[in-house]
């Protein structure tokens, strides 16, 4: 299992469009992928879970992946966040 801590820098945080992009990216991998915000964990492959997180600009979240392609999954999600979800 590997983890990555990130700070959201895009203007609107994770609203509908970034959540959709995140779920689509996570779905490409076989690994189990979770987002952790505070004390709560969210399934990165569930749009409803991600939207319920209510992540905003400046929030710290942790990506956690476990499985055969965990390294690639974390790198892909890191790139998505680093690119501000294409905003």
Tens of pLDDT, residue by residue over 76-85, are 999 999 999 8
Give the model's pLDDT for residue 12. Answer: 86
Give the model's pLDDT for residue 16. Answer: 92
Nearest-angstrom CA–CA distance, 16 and 39: 22
Give the model's pLDDT for residue 11. Answer: 87
**Catalytic residue chosen out of the listed positions 6, 10, 12, 15:** 15
Domain that holds residue 48: 2-86
Give the model's pLDDT for residue 14. Answer: 92
Give the model's pLDDT for residue 34. Answer: 97
- When divided into structural domains, the chain yields a total of 1
Annotated catalytic residue 15: yes
DSSP 21-83: HHHHHHTT-SSEEEEEETTEEEETT-HHHHHHH---TT-EEEEEEESTTHHHHHHHHHHHHHT
Tens of pLDDT, residues 19-78? 999 999 999 999 999 999 999 999 999 999 999 999 999 999 999 999 999 999 999 999
Give the model's pLDDT for residue 4. Answer: 97
Q: What is the CATH number of the domain that holds 69?
A: 3.30.1340.10
DSSP, collapsed to helix, strand or coil, labels residue 5 as strand
């Amino acid at each position: 299992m590997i983890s990555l801590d990130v700070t959201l820098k895009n203007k609107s945080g994770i609203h509908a469009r970034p959540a959709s992009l995140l779920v689509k990216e996570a779905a490409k991998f076989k690994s189990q992928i979770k987002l952790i915000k505070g004390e709560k964990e969210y399934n990165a492959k569930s749009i409803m879970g991600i939207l319920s997180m209510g992540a905003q600009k400046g929030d710290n979240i942790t990506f956690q992946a476990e499985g055969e392609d965990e390294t690639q999954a974390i790198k892909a999600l890191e790139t998505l966040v680093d690119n501000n979800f294409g905003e």
